[in-house]
Structure formats: C-alpha cells, structure tokens
Structure 1
Amino acid sequence: MVIVGAGFGGLQAAKALGKADNVRVTVVDRYNHHLFQPLLYQVATSVLNTADISAPIRSVLHSRNTQVLLAEAKSVDARRKVLVVEGGEIPYDSLVLATGASHSYFKHPEWAQVAPGLKTLDDAVRIRERILTAFEAAEREPDPVRQRQWMTFVIIGAGPTGVELAGALAYMTRHSLPKDFRHIDTRQARVVLLEGLPRVLNAYPEELSERAKRDLEALHVEVRTGALVTEIDAEGVTFGDEHIATRTVLWGAGVAASPLVRSLEVPLDRAGRVHVTPHLTAPGLEDVYVIGDVAAAEQNGKPVPGIAPAAMQMGRHVAKTIRDRLANRPPRTFRYHDKGSFAVVGRGSAVGLLYDKWRMKGLPAWLVWAGVHIAYLIGFRNRLFVMLNWGYTFFTQGGRNMRLITSKVSPRMPALTSSTQAPALPPPARPELPVSQPAPVH
C-alpha cells in the first residue's frame, strides 16, 4: 500500500491501515511534516509559529507496518503499477493519491512572482516577511505617496482563505503593530479584499456572507466584489478601470489539483481533479484511489467540498475499502457527512454553517470554530500552544511577538533620509579637572 501525501486525507488513511496486520504501508511526501493548513494564515499574520501547526510525519505514524519516505512523486505508471519518484520507483499493490492542490493563477503564471499564495509553511513565512518588510520600508520612506503604497495591502479572492487573511491582517495593523513604529501610524494601513463574484464567501448562505462583509468593514477592510483582476505587477493591481498602487499583493483566488494526477491519463475537471468513482477510485483503475483536493467527487448531484473534514472522511473510507477487498467483501460507496464549515473574520468573530442546518455568527461561531480546530490539530503540544496563543491574543489585543524577518533585507528598501535616521549622539562629556587656586596672600 503506497500513500502519496501526508495531508489530512493521506494521514487518516495511513493511521487506519496501520492497524491492519496484513498490510504494509509506505507514505511518500516531499516534506517531512504534516501541516494544519487551515491555520496557515495565522502564521502569515504573526499570531502563531510554524511549529504550532505542524508535526513530523514520523512522530505521528508509529505503527510497525508503516514506513515514511521523504521523496517527491513525479508520475504514476499505472500499467506497471509503480510510483515514479525522484531517484527511483516504488511498486504498489494499491495506491492512494492525496497530493492536495496548488495555486491557480488563471493562465497568468507570471502573477505568482508578485502575488504569493498560501499553501505551505514556506508560503506563510514568505507572506509574513513580505507584510513586515512593507511596514519597515514605509517607516523609512520619505515620499508620502510611496509610503502609502507600501502601507496598502491587496488580497485577491474572498473565499475562506482570503476573508480570514484580510481580517487577521487588518487586526494586526490596528492592534499589534502601532507601538512598533515611530514614523508611521500602522492604523492608517489600507487592506483591500477583491472578489470577482457578487459576494464574499459565495459558497455560504447569503445571510452569512453579508455578516462577514459587515464584520470585515468594521475592521476597516475595503471589500470590493465584482472585481475581475486583469493585471498584477510589482507596482499594483488593475481591475476594470481601476488601479490600486501597492507593493504587497496576496493570492487566495484559485487552486488547481496537483499535476501528479495527470499521469493517470483519466478524465479531469477544469481544476485538474480526477472524476472519481463512487468508491473513490480513478476511472478504469480500481487499485488507484484519489482523495482530497485532487478528487472531484459528487454526492446527490452536488460536489463534495475541498475541505479538511471531507479529505479525512475520504481517507478513512479508502482504508475501509482496502480492508474489505483483502477480506473479499464488496467495496462501499463513499458518503460524505457534512459537519459544517466556518470562516473567521476577526478576534471573536466568525460565521459558519453547522451540520448544513444551523447558521452561526459572531462569538458563538468563533468558539465552535476554535474548538473544532483545536480538536483537529495533531499533538498535545500544538493544541496547548495554540490555545495559549489565542487566549493571550484574545485578552491582550496584541498577541505574542512573532513578528520576525529572517531573510535578508530587500534591496528595494528606500534610502534613509534625515527624518528617518536616528539622531546623532552628543559627544561624550569630558570630566572637568580641578583647577588649583593660588594661595592667599597675607
């Protein structure tokens, strides 16, 4: 049994099959850690550390029948039943592809250089440094127009990732950063959220979408819907007849399935996902399972959402199906149980749909969201540290100091001027030597 990808779906499949005595499991991933992607935006906005939302794969999978290989999968040769990785091949009896999604820039790959997305720890750290460096540049920028450009942030895409990133960034500029700088007021930073569809969180009920928009605007986020972006470069963003001058653009608009599934030579949808069978196998390949963001699964004519709970359910289902096959039992049809979806707008504010029935808003929704995310985190340490960080941030309105820039300062930084340079120190005082007085004359 070979599983490619140790995300939510792959990890669940590996853990479930780790209990089977008659199965040998090999987990292949290009990273050595499992990542809790829903909280990446909090690393990007300096709320959490990278270690708080990740865990080494080997520390999670302890079963004796399971091994972990650090390798990047290149292709699948379904005819020979081998997975081609960098530097070799891995044969399989059954294969699970859980390789997740990457960013999609809608036929504009050049935008990736100026509008980074949020999928990996490297992405989160890069965005965090991009945000912090922008404020550092504004601090030393003498030109008010250029300073305003440095302090303008544009987020493209108002799905859950874009909404959460915009809310966290706006909160950061108004509560966490003001005391850090002397020449700029970070509370004057401009955060703009662009969405091509008519409303934010378009997959949510309209009532929740409108509440999220109001909460974002209360945080001074400019929400622009119906805004189709036509150009992004190092100087700004163009949509329609408008142009926003900015040095920081963040991408949350589109995703595409991992290119690995193309090597299966089976039908794909527009996002590059495999049209899977009701048993989550690739069409015509009953020993190849496709789950998570690379699977286009349907239930009752509706698509199964590409969210973590769905991937986890798929992973457990595939493990059951493989055990059934080994026991000569017929495979089961996958049934997705919708437990709900939530999006955080700001501190103590969220919107969500619980069990596809109950609509929640505000603090109650935030508490449910927080509880679910704590439960899904891997490891006691991660749960404890995230709870402590959230508690500290909630009650202090500032958060812990995780605002680190670890890469070299950008060469684009403005030159220092007399107004931004530190004042010259006065020369050291010289101690006065005592002067001898002439002796009095009698």
Structure 2
Amino acid sequence: MASQVYRPDGNRHHVVIVGAGFGGVNAAKELADADVDITLINNTNHHLFPPLLYQVATGLMSSGEITGDVRQMFADQQNIRVVRGNVESADVEAKTVTSVEGGKESTFAYDSLIVAAGAGQSYFGNDHFAEFAPGLKTLDHAFEIRARLIAAFERAELAETPEERERELTFVIVGAGPTGVELAGQVAEMAHRAFTSGRYSFSTEQSKIYLLDGAPQVLPPFGKRLGKKAQRELEKAGVTVILNAMVTNVDAESVTYKDMKTEQENTIDTPTKIWSAGVAASPLGKQVADQLGVEAERSGKVPVNADLTVGDDPNVFIIGDMMSRDKLPGVAQVAIQSGSYVGKTIKEQVEHDVAPEQRDPFSYFDKGSMAIINRFNAVVKMGKVEITGFIGWLMWLGVHLSFLTGRRNRLVAANEWTINAFSRTRHNLAVTEGQLDGPQTKDEK
C-alpha cells in the first residue's frame, strides 16, 4: 500500500530539506522569515559537528558537546516541521521524497528540494575493510573507535608475553588528511601522556602509532610546507608516518600495504585499525542525478550548475559534501555557505519572483583550512598565509568553538580543552560492553 503524500495545509511554497548537517541547517535558518513551509528530514535526532568526532573517539569530549537536538534548534522557528526518517528515494517527476522510520513509510511533496544528506566513509571498493577498520563519520563510529582503543590497552594489561603486548599496543590510522592527522596525534597523546600516570602496570609509552597514506605527503590540501611541518610534529610526538603506502588488505589481525615506490608489500600486525582515507556521498544524490540525466562521479558527488541545481530542474538543489563544483573541498564551510546560498535563492524566487536564469551564481569564500596536531600545536592555511604552532592552535580553538551549537556546548568544550591543556586527565573514556563487543556500525545515510 502506497504511503499518503504529505503536504502542509495552505498554498505556500513547500521546501523539503534532506539532512540536518551544516548545509541543511543553514538553508533552513536562511528561510526562517520567508513565506514558505519547510519540512526538514533527518536520519537522527541530532545535528552533528563532524570535525570534532575524533575528540569523542579519544576521550577529550562527550557526544553531547558536539551535537544539538534538531527540534530544539528550531523551536522558535514557526515555518518548519522536523521529521525523523531515512530518505530512501526521490521522484523528481512527481516532486516527492519518501522516507522510512521504524518501518513506517512517509512521502512528502515539495516545490523545492534541497538534498544535503552528506557523505559516509569510502573504502574504495573494499567495503569488507569496514569490519576491521571503522571509519569516523557518525557518533556510533566515534563510540566504537573509543571502545577499540580502550580495549587494546586493557588487553595489553593482560598480555602474557612482550610480543603479545607489543602487538596490542600497535595502532594504525589509514589516511593522512585532517581527520587522520588529528586522530594520530590524539592516540599518541593518549599513549604517551594521558595514560602514563600509573593507569596501567606497564608503560603505555611502548605504544606504536602508524599513520599510512597513499599520497606523497601529509595533509595534501595544505601544501608542501605545512604538510612537512605536520609530519615532523607527528613524528616528534611518536607517530610513524608512512607515505606512498597503498593499503591492499585489512583483516582482524593486520594491515598490509604496498610501497608505491618499491612495489614491496609490508604487513603491520595489529588488531586496532582506524580508517579515514576517503568519503562517499550519500547514494540519494546519484539517484536524483540519474533521473535528471546527470552522471554522478565515482565518489557519488553530483555535478551541479552555478546555482547549485541539478540538470534542467530549477527546483532541485544538491549542496555540501554531495555536490561537485569547481573542485570545492568537502569541508564545513562549503556546506554552510552553500546551504545559506540556496536558502536565499529560494526566498528570492518565492518573494521577489526571481526567475532561475536571473539567479546570482554561488560563490565560495575560502576562509582557510586548519588541523590540530596535538596539544598547543596546529597548522592553519588561509590563502597564502600559513600559521603553525601555538598561534595556530589558538586559532583552531577559536574557530571550532564558534561553530559548536549552543552556548552550553561552547562553554563545556572550552573547559574540557583548558583542563586537557594543563592536565593528563580525560573525563570521557567510559565504554559499554555493547560497544566493546559490537560490530562496526554502518554509515548512516
């Protein structure tokens, strides 16, 4: 039996937004005082700040500090309805999207559709790696990684031989982009600083942390100078960086990689692996693109027009991590700016009769890139300006605090970072039996 098609009462323009990430949320906020009705569909009840997931995974922050309840975020906005659901299909001819939640199917008619469903982890065709090397795209992933890290140290406590302990204290992070670099730096801090004050009967400084990447440098988007700086700082912190390393196999006990220069294969024995090497856009984008005669890229990203619409349909927009336009990076600022742009575009169309051909093109303003390496140390690139060390770290703190949802989250995060800067204590290391024993959680789509 087909589900009933939902549409708000009245004749106002109906905007359906899929996804409550940076793109979807900023589009909805831009439409707060517009003469439209909005339905925001998200597959969780929270808005997530993905750049800080690695801090949840390594015990620096709690999940509540990097999330915001979607309904509370829009409690004062009168023209929006928030719906929990996983959007599985869109019909651009019928102008509907269909979501599923708790086995119940719901269909929503739209006048304008904004697809902002984000991206999940990509294993470049080796999806079976996910069982042994979780990615870091959702809260479930962060919880699982934290559980795996803590479990490794607990197993090392019970190791019967030095060889067994060495294996348990070996950690591999695949992917030397910002997430991989930040994860490697924090795992090193856990082992070489946070856990050295009598927490275990052995020296956690024995730990070996490896960062692998197929590229010839760390943090490729940051340029060679900052990449080399980041690599040197990681190595000083105890991380072994292996570049030109193409991972060929991941199983329960090890990681195998091929040296791209020598063609030699090498294996690192470890039960604890983390994957941060690639992203794949939500499959909803490809589904929409196929219907509009547009070929999606291998990563699932969809080529969009200057106004971020798809193909010849002036009312279907794809934004954020799901869009391909001018080689824009998959960062929060792209999602924020594209969401705000589409919100303004729809508002002008509805309230000022601005035709599609009259729309100003989307223009991205690059506010720079930054990555924290460890305590008091970060790299920042803003155009031609490059900043490293303590000043970069302070800039990183300020920018990330400003993006967190809600005053409480900003205050708590600032407090946690201050404590960590001057103390070895981490307050968010609790794990449950379910997290220790549970399988890799699938990426939320």
Indicate whether the TM-score tops 0.5: yes
Distance 1:409 1:360, change over 3 A: closer
- What whole-Å deviation, never above 9, does each CA across 1:131-164 have from its counterpart, x for those lacking one? 0011001101113222211110000000000000
Instruction: Tell whether the 8 Å contact from 1:6 to 1:98 is kept in structure 2 after alignment.
Output: yes
What is the DSSP-based 3-state SS (H/G/I as helix, E as strand, rest coil) of the residue aligned with 1:89?
A: strand
Q: In the alignment, which of 39, 48, 52 is matched to residue 65 of structure 2?
A: 52
Q: Which runs of 5+ in 1 are unaligned?
A: 413-442
Equivalent residue letter for 2:272: T
The CA distance in 1 between the partners of 2:171 and 2:244, in whole Å, is 18
- What whole-Å deviation, never above 9, does each CA across 1:389-423 have from its counterpart, x for those lacking one? 00011112x133221111248579xxxxxxxxxxx
Instruction: Tell whether the 8 Å contact from 2:301 to 2:323 is kept in structure 1 after alignment.
Output: yes
Determine whether 1:259 maps to 2:283.
yes
* Counterpart residue number, 2:353: 328
- What whole-Å deviation, never above 9, does each CA across 1:92-115 have from its counterpart, x for those lacking one? 100000011011111111001000
Distance 1:180 1:68, change over 3 A: farther
- What whole-Å deviation, never above 9, does each CA across 1:219-268 have from its counterpart, x for those lacking one? 01000000111010001101122110001000000111001112211321
Distance 1:142 1:15, change over 3 A: same
The CA distance in 1 between the partners of 2:200 and 2:301, in whole Å, is 50
* Counterpart residue number, 1:433: none
Residue 181 of structure 1 and its aligned partner are, at CA, apart by 3.5
Q: Which runs of 5+ in 2 are unaligned?
A: 1-14, 259-264, 439-445
What is the DSSP-based 3-state SS (H/G/I as helix, E as strand, rest coil) of the residue aligned with 2:273?
A: strand
Q: In the alignment, which of 338, 350, 358 is matched to residue 366 of structure 2?
A: 338
* Counterpart residue number, 1:379: 406
Determine whether 1:82 maps to 2:99.
no
The CA distance in 1 between the partners of 2:362 and 2:286, in whole Å, is 23
The CA distance in 2 between the partners of 1:405 and 1:111, in whole Å, is 23
What is the DSSP-based 3-state SS (H/G/I as helix, E as strand, rest coil) of the residue aligned with 2:380?
A: strand
* Counterpart residue number, 1:147: 165
* Counterpart residue number, 2:148: 130
Equivalent residue letter for 1:406: T
* Counterpart residue number, 1:208: 226
The CA distance in 1 between the partners of 2:306 and 2:36, in whole Å, is 23
The CA distance in 2 between the partners of 1:250 and 1:137, in whole Å, is 18
Instruction: Tell whether the 8 Å contact from 2:18 to 2:115 is kept in structure 1 after alignment.
Output: yes
Instruction: Tell whether the 8 Å contact from 2:143 to 2:435 is kept in structure 1 after alignment.
Output: no
Equivalent residue letter for 1:12: N
- What whole-Å deviation, never above 9, does each CA across 1:297-338 have from its counterpart, x for those lacking one? 11xxxx111100111000000011101211112211000000
Instruction: Tell whether the 8 Å contact from 2:147 to 2:436 is kept in structure 1 after alignment.
Output: no
> Cα RMSD between the aligned structures?
1.3
Instruction: Tell whether the 8 Å contact from 1:139 to 1:181 is kept in structure 2 after alignment.
Output: no
Q: In the TM superposition, what are the counterparts of 1:287-306 in structure 2 within 5 Å?
A: 287-298=315-326, 303-306=327-330
Determine whether 1:309 maps to 2:336.
no
* Counterpart residue number, 2:304: 276
* Counterpart residue number, 1:23: 36
What is the DSSP-based 3-state SS (H/G/I as helix, E as strand, rest coil) of the residue aligned with 2:197?
A: helix
TM-score normalized with structure 1 length: 0.90
Q: In the TM superposition, what are the counterparts of 1:43-442 in structure 2 within 5 Å?
A: 43-61=56-74, 62-86=76-100, 87-240=105-258, 241-264=265-288, 265=290, 266-298=294-326, 303-326=327-350, 327-329=352-354, 330-354=358-382, 356-396=383-423, 398-408=424-434
Residue 184 of structure 1 and its aligned partner are, at CA, apart by 2.1
Equivalent residue letter for 2:353: N
Residue 180 of structure 1 and its aligned partner are, at CA, apart by 4.9
Instruction: Tell whether the 8 Å contact from 1:73 to 1:85 is kept in structure 2 after alignment.
Output: yes
Percent of counterpart pairs with the same letter?
Answer: 41
- What whole-Å deviation, never above 9, does each CA across 1:63-115 have from its counterpart, x for those lacking one? 01011000110011001000011112111100000011011111111001000
Equivalent residue letter for 2:281: A
Structure number, greater radius of gyration? 1
TM-score normalized with structure 2 length: 0.89
The CA distance in 1 between the partners of 2:228 and 2:201, in whole Å, is 36
The CA distance in 2 between the partners of 1:331 and 1:36, in whole Å, is 30
Distance 1:409 1:381, change over 3 A: closer
Determine whether 1:4 maps to 2:21.
no
